[in-house]
Amino acid sequence: MTLLEIDLVVYPDECDAFGHLNQASFLSLFERARWEMLRGGPGMDVFTRGGAWPALRKTVIDYRAAAFPGDVLRFQQVLTHYGRTSFTMRQTARRVRDDILIASAEFVFVCIDRDGRPIPVPQEFSEYMNARPDSPGNVRRITVHGVNLAVEERGKGPAVLFVHGYPLDRTIWREQIGALEGFRCIAVDLRGMGQSDSPDLGYSMSIYAADLAALLDVLGVDDVVLCGLSMGGYVAFEFLRQWHSRVRGLVLMDSRADADAPEVRRARDAAAATARERGAGAIADAMLPRMLAPATLSRRPDVAERVRALMARTPVAGIVGALAAMRDREESESLLPTLAGVPTLVMVGDADTLTPPDQARAMVAAIPGGRLAVIPGAGHLPPVEQPEATTASLREFLRSLG
């Protein structure tokens, strides 16, 4: 558990005649979780010390499953917007026993003084929540197709859209989007992962791709270089099928073009059952050894922990949805020869066992003018394992597009 996570027990007097946690009590548990979090951090008086009070202005709650007396709920809190006088906190409540998402909520606060006038959010609070003021480099929440996506943007110039793999999030691109000067780097959490909403249903490659197209519309971006890692590459293929003219260039990182073989489809279903029964932590434990190069695993515990933690916080609905979307995806090998007009870089870690270098070479051979970059010392996650070499290859490719 991190400091931003709080476990609370559901008591019988918080439940209705059917034994379900009632709505009023939900609200008070969300509130208690926020105060408990402050108690364990900068103190419950972090606002009043500076003469401020966080006045609640708006609440949106999505009730997903019933909770019952005795259930232990784990509340996670994330700051999704931080302005001068206002902030938005997203909270989720999951049942610890089965990691089921019980409810998610968004609370918008304005800090006010005793006369009700807006005053700045105490810096100590935002520092604790690990947020920075809203700026082009910070997380925005953009709603497309009824789903709230978390999006981070850095820099100015031709747009590059970074699409993460499974079960990951946009933070795998942290080092790249911070270092690729001269480009408008956009990193998004796909629906169901990271800080984006995770609906129970509605996952497929075409829905992920449609989300990206709608996101680009909202951002006013006509065409992009798409950079997809693994499942992000599958999404990029789907995007190409539907919006070919919007793709100025393509980076396929540790990805593959074939569809799932029958045994892989069965393994996807088994993994979905594991996620439902044992939660995201079990998926993270199973995936970690295959995600990273042996050298990363043995010599870089910080990297291993970062990757495990980000997989373990993926919502179960998003994991199950992504597994179904990958299982049912079309083959894209027939698309490769049609990429003549789309400059394409295929990148792969030299120690990737999930999508090995030989597979990358075969893709390059099928793409007219395709280029290859093999990143030494990386497994399935070059942007995290070898950030500098990955950024250097990306930079060289992006600059070559003119």
* Of residues 168, 234, 157, 223, the one with CA closest to residue 195: 168
Residue 10 or 307: the one with the smaller Cβ distance to ligand MLT is 307
Residue 75 or 166: the one with the smaller Cβ distance to ligand MLT is 166
Binding test (CB under 6 A) with ligand MLT, winner from 26, 47, 125, 166:
166
Residue 151 or 231: the one with the smaller Cβ distance to ligand MLT is 231
Q: Does 382 bind ligand MLT (CB under 6 A)?
A: no
Residue 6 or 231: the one with the smaller Cβ distance to ligand MLT is 231
Least CB distance to ligand MLT at residue 362 (A): 16
Q: Does 274 bind ligand MLT (CB under 6 A)?
A: no
In angstroms, the Cα distances linking 253 to 2, 49, 51, 212 are 31, 49, 50, 18
Residue 158 or 356: the one with the smaller Cβ distance to ligand MLT is 356
Binding test (CB under 6 A) with ligand MLT, winner from 326, 348, 363, 375:
326
Instruction: Identify residue 396 by its one-letter amino acid code.
Output: E
Binding test (CB under 6 A) with ligand MLT, winner from 230, 344, 359, 393:
230
What is the CB neighbour count within 10 angstroms for residue 137?
13
Least CB distance to ligand MLT at residue 92 (A): 23
Q: Does 165 bind ligand MLT (CB under 6 A)?
A: yes
Binding test (CB under 6 A) with ligand MLT, winner from 213, 288, 354, 392:
354
What is the CB neighbour count within 10 angstroms for residue 54?
21
Whole-number Å distance between alpha carbons of 326 and 174: 25
Residue 20 or 164: the one with the smaller Cβ distance to ligand MLT is 164
Question: Which residue of the chain is nearest ligand MLT when measured via CB?
Answer: 165
Binding test (CB under 6 A) with ligand MLT, winner from 161, 231, 272, 304:
231
Whole-number Å distance between alpha carbons of 188 and 185: 10
Size of the site for ligand MLT (CB under 6 A): 7
Q: Does 88 bind ligand MLT (CB under 6 A)?
A: no
Q: Cβ distance 175 to 127 under 8 Å?
A: no
Residue 21 or 235: the one with the smaller Cβ distance to ligand MLT is 235
Least CB distance to ligand MLT at residue 240 (A): 17
Least CB distance to ligand MLT at residue 182 (A): 28
- Strands of the sheet containing 247-253, edge to edge, are 139-144, 147-154, 184-188, 159-163, 224-229, 247-253, 344-349, 371-375
Which burial class, exposed, middle or buried, applies to 35 when counting CB atoms under 10 A from its CB (0-12, 13-18, 19+)?
Answer: exposed
Residue 96 or 267: the one with the smaller Cβ distance to ligand MLT is 267
Interface residue list for ligand MLT (CB under 6 A):
165-166, 230-231, 326, 354, 380
